[in-house]
Amino acid sequence: MKKLFSLALAALTFIAAQDICSAQYYKDLFQDSGINLTSRQDLPAARFLGISYETYYSAKHNPMELSVKDTIEQTALMVGSTIDENGVLLYPDGAPRFKMIYVNGGRATKHGNSLTEKGRENIRTFVANGGSLVGSCAGSFIASAGNEDFKVDPGSEGKTGKITRNNDGKVKKEYFGVYPGRTISTDDLNQEYTGMQVEKKSPLLKYYNFGGDMYIDSVYHNGGSWIAEDPYTLVPGTEILLRYDYDKTKEQARIDRGSFPISGKVSCWAYKKDGKTGRVVLIGSHPEGVTEGDRLELTAAMFQYAMDGVGRPEIKGELKNGETRRMVKSTAENDPAFTRIGDKQYHHFNVVIPKNAKNIKVVLESPYKKDDLYLTMTKNDFAFLANARYHDITLGCDKDMKFDKLEAGMWFIGVHCATTVDTVPTDYGVAYTGHLEVLNGVPYTITISWDE
């Protein structure tokens, strides 16, 4: 039975079911425009792609200072509160509630401090459990393990140099470390524009051809990042997507004043640790505010590549004949395999049906009678509504599926929480109303039984 289970999971790794799996999230994207970041409300690339998103933005009147109001709002969203113990990014079991988080530019260290260690840990959990992250400028710095100076070789006019500790396994306290390498500042390259050369095998080309010339012109830059690609410093698994292309005259002026050339340096890169984690896509510049042309398509391509790299669905556990599985624990109990289900989330289980099984019954029950849980079932695949062979979407939580017989083998059972919150606009994004109980999760039990 264990061998059969392992083979089934291995096969599922190769199933291209991104559209179906997208159904397991509350929304596509969360935009972090929080304390000490640019207070961006609109996100043109999200509108361009037609994806669903929410934003938290700190007070526009003083975006670089921490206020009591901002702190209370950001903490409730990014850390948690009594009505949402796990914070806006996570489901009660720690799974990602959004497919992706986008982190704006601004002040990386100050924003990291404002999140507190719990807020930073929530973002690490988000990526580790399958959510993707895109960051621009400060968003690329804070996603990394830290930042490092570029040490120019004496007498080289800034043309050569080295990084001594770009990938040492340590993470700066205020940073997330979801990209385990270190970023390097572009020094005094502020309030400028650079071109970007698209790498020949860049995965961004799967989405757009950027005018066919492999080039993106005039991307705004304000003290952002790059990464070294020396084999001793580049994190294994890093994908190089774009490189800076800076004006030659201005480049020489940088060298003359003791700085280093930026042309040819890695400006945009991606990293995905393994199949369970989300994909991290980072850029040192600012294409995100543009509403047309190659720069809009660049941001959209980064978003698409990140969302296509979300982690695979996970199995909660194997159901046994006649044994009731109790999914009733809270976030604080830290037992994800038995934790309640969140809004629009799926929980997946598997069960091996023997050849002689008959009078098969699947029972789903919950004390939360005002919420809606759906029950799905299919063979040899995750049971989402879109591909389930059997499903019960009766309103309410309690379900009772009965079968005289089923094909022998591996079956997957899905529980989907169809109930979600309502939103109302605020001066910092949106606030949740309505079925707030789903934020801390809906408890339920599930039992499958049969005669032999």
Same domain, 296 and 397: no
Separation of alpha carbons 401 and 153, rounded Å: 71
Are 237 and 110 part of one and the same domain?
yes
Contact (CB, 8 A) for 285 and 220: yes
Position 14 pLDDT exceeds 50: no
pTM for this prediction: 0.92
- Please indicate, yes or no, whether residues 148 and 186 belong to a single structural domain of this protein: yes
Average pLDDT over residues 438-447: 98
What's the rounded Cα separation, in Å, for the pair 379 and 351? 10
C-alpha to C-alpha distance for 26 and 29, rounded to whole angstroms: 9
Domain of residue 390: give its range.
315-451
Indicate whether 233 pLDDT > 80.
Answer: no
Quote the pLDDT of residue 187.
81
Percent residues over pLDDT 70 in the chain? 89
Task: Please tell me the predicted confidence (pLDDT) of residue 366.
Answer: 97
Mean pLDDT across the stretch 286-298?
Answer: 97
Going by the DSSP 8-state scheme, the letter that residue 440 receives in this structure is G
Domain final residue, candidates 272, 307, 342 = 307
Is 2 contained in some domain?
A: no
Judged against a pLDDT cut of 60, whether residue 432 lies above it is answered with yes
- pLDDT (average), residues 388-404: 96
Of 256, 290, 307, the residue at which a domain comes to its end is 307
> What CATH number is associated with residue 254?
3.40.50.880
Per-residue model confidence (pLDDT) at position 21? 61
Which of 229, 231, 297 lies closest to 269 in space, CA to CA? Answer: 229
**Residue 439 scores a pLDDT above 80:** yes
Helix (H) or strand (E) holding 240, with range, is strand 239-245
| CATH number of the domain enclosing 329 | 2.60.120.380
Tally of domains within the chain: 2
pLDDT at 131: 98
Element (H, E) at 74: helix 68-78
Residues 73 and 97 in one domain: yes
**Is 6 inside a domain boundary?**
no
Q: Is residue 367 domain-shared with residue 292, that is, in the same domain?
A: no
- State the Cα–Cα distance between residues 277 and 133, nearest whole angstrom: 10
- For the cut 70, the answer to whether the pLDDT of residue 18 exceeds it is no
Confidence grade of residue 158 (pLDDT, cut at 50, 70, 90): low
Q: Which two tokens stand for residue 387?
A: 């591909």
Q: Is residue 1 part of a domain?
A: no
Q: Is residue 243, in this structure, part of any structural domain at all?
A: yes
* Residue 411 β-bridge partners: 351, 379
pLDDT (average), residues 234-255: 92
Please give the average per-residue pLDDT across 231-248, as a whole number: 91
**pLDDT at residue number 63:** 56
Cβ atoms within 10 Å of 407's Cβ, excluding its own: 12
Report the DSSP pairing between strands 98-103 and 151-152.
Answer: unpaired
pLDDT tens for 301-324 read 999 999 999 999 999 999 999 999
Phi first, then psi, for residue 361 (nearest 5°) are -135, 135
Question: Are 254 and 341 contained in the same domain?
Answer: no
Q: What is d(CA 76, CA 96) in angstroms, rounded to the nearest whole number?
A: 17
Q: 229 with 354, same domain?
A: no
Task: State which amino acid sits at residue 344.
Answer: K
Q: Is 89 exposed, middle or buried (0-12, 13-18, 19+ CB in 10 A)?
A: buried
Q: List the beta bridge partners of residue 432.
A: 423
**Pair (116, 184) in one structural domain:** yes
Q: What is the mean pLDDT of residues 281-292?
A: 97
Would the CA dihedral through 33, 34, 36, 41 be positive or negative?
A: positive
190 and 63 in one domain?
yes
User: Does 358 share its domain with 222?
Assistant: no
pLDDT (average), residues 52-79: 85
- Domain assignment of residue 262, yes or no: yes
Token output for 328: 């009733």
| pLDDT at residue 27 greater than cutoff 90 | yes
- How far is 390 from 187, CA to CA, in rounded Å? 59
- Considering the domain architecture, whether residues 105 and 184 belong to the same structural domain is answered as yes
Domain boundary among 260, 288, 307: 307
Whether the per-residue pLDDT at 3 is higher than 70: the answer is no
Q: Is residue 5 part of a domain?
A: no
The per-residue pLDDT for 312 is: 93
The answer to whether the CB of 98 falls within 8 A of the CB of 447 is: no
Cβ atoms of 342 and 441 within 8 Å: the answer is yes
Same domain, 163 and 249: yes
Residue 18 lies in a domain: no
3 part of a folded domain: no
